[in-house]
Amino acid sequence: MTRQSNIKTIIKIILFFILPLLSYGCSSVLTTVAEQIYLTVTDCRNVKTILDDTTIKLTIINKYHDDEYISTLNSLDLSVECYKGHVYLVGEYDKPVQKERVVKIAKNVKGVEKVTSYLLQKNRNDICGIDENLKIMLSVKTNLIGDKDLWARNIDVKSVQCHVVLYGIVASDDKMTKAIEHAKSVKGVRSVKSFLSSAEKTDSNLLVRQ
């Protein structure tokens, strides 16, 4: 049995045995476990890489919480993700010093290979607020999930001041283009910034869905 067949089998087990239990009011712990299993088996990265990336992400977040300048920002202001040691920082900041420290701290974390940021200064007069950003994110994710050619769980979507940011790993350049087009098609999107990478180029041995 191939690795891809094993993955499909595990997903079926989750769908038929674990997820139905959630409808009976099981604890949020079960929900988290089921979700993490699903995320792991549908991720292009191997398990060790996923663990390393998660460690990097949590380390950065903890350092942000301890920083006197960055700690005033919340999870809606700043998002941190890591793929194969490449850290992505997406969100908004109040003061320039926050932007500088966010990047500097991330670069100094062990295991970080590269830091890419998309950070905009908050604009209190902007008509695009939290509600608009959340609506756009939901619409883009819905479009991605609806496309059976894409592993939508491998793509992270953020909306900052109605500008969509995509990052993660997709199977090929063609699928990268499709993801961007899905984002552009959503009403209210001002622009789309793609930090997506192709598994074809980053690692020819990665398991990808063709």
Q: For the chain, which residues make up each domain, given as ranges?
A: 3-41, 47-121, 130-202
pTM of full prediction above 0.75 = no
Q: Choose among 156, 144, 158, 151: nearest CA to 206.
A: 151
Q: What is the pLDDT of residue 29?
A: 41
The span from the first CA to the last CA of the chain, in angstroms, equals 18
> Is residue 85 a contact partner of residue 111, using CB atoms and an 8 Å limit?
yes
Is 130-202 the same fold as 47-121? yes
Q: What is the pLDDT of residues 185-207, one digit of tens each?
A: 999 999 999 999 887 665 444 33
**What's 47-121's CATH class?**
alpha beta
CATH of 130-202, one of 1.50.10.10, 3.40.50.720, 2.40.30.210, 3.30.1340.30: 3.30.1340.30
Q: What is the pLDDT of residue 5?
A: 53
Q: What tokens appear for 125 in the block?
A: 């007069």
Question: How far from 193 is each of 36, 54, 59, 73, CA to CA, in Å?
Answer: 27, 23, 26, 22
